[in-house]
Amino acid sequence: MKARRIAMNVAKLPGLLEERESGMTRKSVAMGIAVLTMLVATPSWAYAVSQEARKACEAKADQVSPALRAPEREAFIANCLADATATTPQKKKNY
């Protein structure tokens, strides 16, 4: 009895897979187009850090000795950018 039920479900499997794959393909294409549209539409002024600040931090990372490995260099640049873009703490609001 169990084997018969399994065989019937296996027989239905190709049709189910085709329906799911086509649905996933349409959904994937729609999501891809939406993401690409958002990336292209983002203006350059919307980035968190200016290109000048990034270049300055990269230059500082190049001057550090001993030479930094890739993960260390990225961490150094991230810390430099955080320091360069730090804001003063806001006054605490009393409610």
- Number of independent structural domains in the chain: 2
Q: 16 is in which domain, residue-wise?
A: 2-40
91 in any annotated domain: no
CA 56, 57, 59, 63 torsion: positive or negative? Answer: positive
What confidence score (pLDDT) does residue 65 get? 87
What confidence score (pLDDT) does residue 10 get? 52
15 Cβ contact partners less than 8 Å away, ≥ 6 residues apart: none
The two tokens of residue 81 are 């950018």
- Per residue in 52-81, pLDDT (tens digit) is 888 999 999 999 988 889 999 999 999 999
Question: Within this chain, do residues 52 and 31 fall inside the same structural domain, yes or no?
Answer: no
90 in any annotated domain: no
Question: Within this chain, do residues 35 and 55 fall inside the same structural domain, yes or no?
Answer: no
89 in any annotated domain: no
The two tokens of residue 37 are 């549209």
Q: How far apart are CA 7 and CA 82, in angstroms?
A: 60
The reply to whether the predicted model has a pTM over 0.85 is: no
What confidence score (pLDDT) does residue 94 get? 78
Q: What is the CA radius of gyration of the chain?
A: 26
- Per residue in 3-40, pLDDT (tens digit) is 566 555 555 655 544 555 555 677 787 888 887 777 66
93 in any annotated domain: no
Question: Within this chain, do residues 55 and 80 fall inside the same structural domain, yes or no?
Answer: yes
What confidence score (pLDDT) does residue 49 get? 75
For the chain, the helix, strand and coil percentages under 3-state DSSP, each to the nearest 5: 75, 0, 25
Question: Within this chain, do residues 58 and 29 fall inside the same structural domain, yes or no?
Answer: no
The two tokens of residue 31 are 């999501």
